[in-house]
Amino acid sequence: MDNNKLRSEISNSLENISEPWNKEWNYFQETEFRALLIDRFRKGQLTDNNKVVLAYLLYKAKIRIFESLLFEVVVKANDAEANFAFLLGLFYYKGYDVFCQNYCSALKYFSLAKTKNLAIANYYLGEMYLFGYEVKENPEKALEYFKHSPAAKGLKRNVGYALIKSGQKEAGFQLLTECEKENDGYAGLLLGNLAFDQKKEEDAFYHYMKGMDYGCSECVYHVGKMLIDGQGTSKNISTGLSILLKNTDDSNSCQEICHIMNDYQEYRDQDLFRELLLKSYKFGNSDSGRQYLSQKEVWDDKDLNIAIDLSETYPSLNYSIFCYFGKKLNGKALEFLKKGVFLHDEKCIREAIKHPILRKNLKNYLVTK
């Protein structure tokens, strides 16, 4: 089919599509469809439903170029409309781009979409109750939601896990095992977790290996970690580390690599170590940020911002920030020196005692110290 004919067919069907997440397009069609929708979006020619289609396709393709516009489109739209409610729920559930992950908001919008009879919302509500995202774990309630969900990737696996958690172990294990045989990596993850919880470490390692082979990034972390620790398999730090290094976009893997490089000098690549410490800090690990700063002989402005961010958690950083500003007793430098004193940092206190003005301003605190 030539491009013009394809565009014509897409154009004719544009106004009839309201649930893009239930549609199947191949990559070529999706690319063409996306280009057409973006063009119409720019010209202000899209209906609300098709703005949802566009937002979904950009979300799927991880295209960030229109994120701010789409944020306005989705948030300012009538969120009582089922498609918008569902898409808002999905964005908050996944933590997509400008949306911070927020399970409370996801629950709100999925529930709203369900009341508007959008069946796919049942799948995500079931998943939230199955794994306890923002709600108390309730596998029985999850199964009720799954009963009303249309076919979705992961549904069979989640039903199996919910059956196990609700006491119907034989039926649940049968479903999960079938999913694993069908190359579902996350089924391997769940089977591995269940085996690990029962202290069947060799079985857990087997299932994590299966999951890793089928593309589950969480299984990559578990396989690497178990090799490093010698759980369920022979200890092999080098192999475990090489596996984790393939998965540095996973926060747990990134943090574990940092621990290994910190504890074992023979496995450390200094530049890579700094890079991964910074990455781990961005994942929310404050100690990695502190370690990253300690590895830098000279800070730049980016490092300064990290130090300021961590200055409450690690009071000693206030003295380093003071030094960064050239130990000047004015403006920002003085602000962080005082902050370090009040946070009981010894270096800041010793520096403050050297200066009569600071001794006078801080005398009550310094006497008590």
Tokens found for residue 155: 């549904």
pLDDT at 64: 54
Higher pLDDT, 107 or 353: 107
| Residue spans per domain, the chain | 1-114, 299-369
Per-residue pLDDT tens digits for 297-307: 888 888 999 99
| Residue percentage of the chain with pLDDT more than 70 | 76
Residue 351 half-sphere exposure, CB side, CA atoms within 13 Å? Answer: 25
Name the band, by pLDDT with cuts 50, 70 and 90, for residue 229: very high
pLDDT at 4: 53
Query: pTM of the full predicted structure?
Result: 0.71
Instruction: Report yes or no: 163 and 169 within 8 Å, Cβ to Cβ.
Output: yes
pLDDT at 17: 39
Residue 181 has pLDDT above 60, yes or no: yes
Tokens found for residue 25: 């397009």
User: Whole-number mean pLDDT of the chain?
Assistant: 82
| Longest CA–CA separation in the chain, Å | 84
Instruction: Report yes or no: 52 and 83 within 8 Å, Cβ to Cβ.
Output: yes
Residue 12 has pLDDT above 70, yes or no: no
Name the band, by pLDDT with cuts 50, 70 and 90, for residue 89: confident
Residue 16 has pLDDT above 80, yes or no: no
Residue 49 has pLDDT above 80, yes or no: no
Residue 104 has pLDDT above 70, yes or no: yes
Residue 15 has pLDDT above 60, yes or no: no
**Which amino acid is present at 123?**
Y
Determine how many CB atoms are found less than 10 A away from the CB of residue 308: 16
Residue 141 has pLDDT above 50, yes or no: yes
In angstroms, rounded to a whole number, what is the distance separating the alpha carbons of residues 360 and 346? 18
Residue 133 has pLDDT above 60, yes or no: yes
Higher pLDDT, 140 or 76: 140
Mean pLDDT of 275-303: 89
Of 99-113, 203-217, 347-361, the one with minimum mean pLDDT is 347-361
Which of 169, 159, 219 shows the shortest CA–CA distance to 192? 219
Give one DSSP letter per residue of 287-299, joined into a string.
Answer: HHHHHHHHT-SS-
- The answer for residues whose C-beta is within 8 angstroms of residue 64's C-beta and 6 or more apart is 97
pLDDT at 236: 96
pLDDT at 169: 95
Higher pLDDT, 204 or 70: 204
Per-residue pLDDT tens digits for 118-130: 888 999 999 999 9
Instruction: Report yes or no: 74 and 92 within 8 Å, Cβ to Cβ.
Output: no
Name the band, by pLDDT with cuts 50, 70 and 90, for residue 186: very high
Tokens found for residue 90: 């999905």
- The answer for residues whose C-beta is within 8 angstroms of residue 112's C-beta and 6 or more apart is 79, 80, 82, 85, 89
Of 15-24, 126-135, 198-207, 318-327, the one with minimum mean pLDDT is 15-24
pLDDT at 28: 42
